[in-house]
Structure 1
Amino acid sequence: MAEYPLKPADRVEITVLVDNYTDFLVPQQTPVDRRPPYNPKRHLLAEHGLSCLVRVITGKKEHAVLLDTGLSGQCLPWNARQLGVSLPGIETVVLSHGHYDHTGGLEEVFCGAGHQVPLVAHPDAFLRRRMNIPSAGIFDQPYPDAVALKKSGADIRMRSEPTALAAGHLLVTGEVERKTPFEQGMPGGEIEKDGAWVPDTFRDDQALVISVKDKGLVVLSGCAHAGIINTVEYARKITGTDQVHAVLGGFHLNGKSFEKVIPPTIEAMQKIEPYYVVPMHCTGWDAINRFMAAMPGKCILNTVGTTYVF
C-alpha cells in the first residue's frame, strides 16, 4: 500500500525559469516540449542554477508551485518577466536542497509576493556548507538565512518527511532512501553539524512528484544529490505507482568524479522506461549527450523558457 497516494492531475505544466543553457533557436523536439516563439526583443538569461515553475491543473482548479530560485537573484525575476510569469501568484516555494545555486532568488520571490508564502525545506537546507578539495583548498558556500527569509515574507516549514501540496496532487519526497550502489553523493562536500564539519550526505535533497491521469509519475529533481535513480525509485515506492511518465531536472553527473556513474545511471533509467527524460543544470554536457544517444526520441534537450506539458 502506498504511504502517500497522490490524486491524479489532469495536466501538469513545468516551465524552466532558470537553467544553465539558453538557445532560442532550438525547435520543438517532442509533443510535450513547448519552446517560446522566436522574438528578437525577448532576452532570456542562463546561469549555473535551476528554477522551475510547476502548474498542476485538475478541472477548473490550478496550483502553482516553484521549485528553487536559481543562483544570482537577478536571473529568475528577469526571465519570469520576459515569459509573462507572475511570481506573486505562486502558492508555495519548495527547496530541493540548500545549495546556493538553488537559493539565490529566494528573498526576491518573497519580497515581491506582498504576503506570506510557504517555503517547504528540509532542516539541513539552512546549515553551513563548504567544499573541501585537497588539491584546491576549502571553499565556503553561501547558504540561506532563515531569519532574513522570514523577514522577507517566507513561512518556513522545515520537514524531512514527504509533504503533500496542491490539494494532494503534488508530493515533496522529503529525505530520499539510498539504495543504488553507484550513487554515492558528491565527493568533497561538507556540512556543519553540532559545531563540527562532517561529510555532506545531502539528507536535505528532495524532489517533486506529480501523478498525471492515465500517464504515470512526473518526477522533478533539483540536483539529485541522493541519486536520480534513488529519487525515482523512492517516488515510486511512496506513491505506490510504478509507471513513470517523465523524469526532469538536474542529475548531477558533471565532472571527472562522476564519469563512471553515467553508464549505470543511463542503464537504470532505461530499465525504468520513462516516456521522457529531460536532464538539466548539473547533469553536464557529456551525460546529456549520452542520454540523447541512448534514449532517442525520449531524451529532450532543455533550454531556458521551455514549458513541458504532460
Structure 2
Amino acid sequence: MKLTVLVDNNVYIDHYYLGEPALSFYIEDGDEKILFDTGYSDVFKKNADLLNIDLSQVTKLALSHGHNDHTGGLNTISSIFTKQKPQIIAHPLAFCPKKEGELIIGSNITKEELQIDYDLLLTKEPVKLSPNITFLGEIPELVDFEPRKQVGETKLSEVFTPDYVLDDSALVFEGQDGIYIITGCSHSGISNICEYAKQVTGIQTIKSVIGGFHLFEDDSQLDNTIEYFKRNQIDALYPCHCVSFQAKAKIHYELPIEEVGVGLQIEWH
C-alpha cells in the first residue's frame, strides 16, 4: 500500500506544493485507488497534478466526516471524474447541515446531489474498500478518557442540535505485521479509533498512525493518549492537520513523531 499526502496544513521547505488547513490523502492498494477526503478547495487537485497523480483513475472516495475542511473539494470533482465515477463512502450523518454560530462548517454538496451521478454508500458499519483497507464506519467510545465533544450544531431533522460528530470515521490497513491507522480529524478520539480498528480486524498490533489526532491542549487527554501510544508500542506516529505544535512537542518528548507535509509518500506492506 502506498499513501501520498495531497493536502495538509504543512508543506515542506523547498517543496513547492500548496497547503491549506485541511486534509486529503491519495492511497493505492492493489487495483484500488482511494481518495480519502478532499480538503477545503481544489488544492488537492493542483497538488495531485504536481505529483503526477491521475485522480481520474480513483475507484473509491472515502470521507472521514462531513466538515468542510474534508469535504470542500467535492465541489470540484465533476471536472475530474468525467468518465470513471468512483464510489463515495461516508457515514450517514456526514452530509447533514453543520454550523458553528453563523459559520457554515458542513459540506456544500448534499447527498441528493451526489446520488445523481455517483454510487453513494452511507454506512455506520465497517466496509472493505480494498482487500487490505477497511472504512471503519461509526466509532464507539471504548476508552474512558476520550468522551465525544460538541463541535457546533447539526441539523438532523427540522432544527439544529448539538453536534458530537458521530459521522467521524477512519481507515485501517491490514499489513503483514500489524494494522496501520489512517485518520481525518479523530473527533471520535484517536485511541477510540485505534481500539475499534483492533476489534474490526482482530489484529492487536498497531504499527503506525497517520492523520489528524484532534489534540490541542496540554491536558489529561493528551497525557492519556501518549500513555496509550506507549502501551501499544506504535512504531511510527504521523500527527498532522489538527494537532497543535504544543501537543506534537509533548508527544515527541515521549515518543518520536514523524514530520508530515504535502508530498509525503509512505509505503506499508
Percent identity over the alignment is 30
Q: Which residue of 1 aligns with 2:264?
A: 306
**How far apart, CA to CA, are the structure 2 residues paired with 1:197 and 1:147?**
20
**C-alpha separation between the residues in 2 aligned to 1:150 and 1:169?**
27
Match runs of 1:143-292 below 5 Å: 143=107, 144-151=109-116, 153-166=117-130, 168-213=131-176, 215-254=177-216, 256=217, 259-292=219-252
TM-score after normalising by structure 2: 0.93
Which segment drifts farther, 48-57 or 187-196? Answer: 187-196
Higher relative contact order (CA 8 A, sep 6+): 1
Q: CA deviation at 1:147?
A: 3.1
Partner SS state of residue 249, structure 1: strand
Alpha-carbon RMSD: 1.7
For structure 1, list consecutive stretches of 5 or more residues without a partner in the other structure: 1-11, 26-37, 133-137
Contact 1:19 1:303 in 2 (8 A): yes
d(CA) in 1 for partners of 2:221, 2:150: 13
Q: What's the offset of the Cα at 1:188?
A: 4.3
1:197 to partner: Cα distance: 2.1
Q: CA deviation at 1:44?
A: 0.3
SS at match of 1:171: strand
TM-score computed with the length of structure 1 as normaliser: 0.81
Instruction: Tell which deviates more after alignment, 218-227 or 188-197.
Output: 188-197
Give the letter for the 2:62 counterpart: V
Given that residues 66 and 106 in structure 2 are in contact (C-alpha distance below 8 angstroms), is that contact kept between their aligned partners in structure 1?
no
> Which of residues 91, 94, 100 in structure 2 aligns to 1:131?
100
Greater gyration radius: 1
Question: 3-state SS of the aligned residue for 1:53?
Answer: strand
Offset of residue 84 of structure 1: 0.5
**Residues 44 and 117 of structure 1: CA distance in aligned 2, closer, same or farther (over 3 Å):** same
Give a deviation string over 1:189-235, Cα, whole Å, max 9, x none.
2211221222212221111111111x210110100110000000000
Alpha-carbon separation, structure 2, partners of 1:19 and 1:56 = 21
CA contact (8 A) 1:189 1:199 kept: yes
Q: How many residues align?
A: 266
2:252 partner amino acid: M
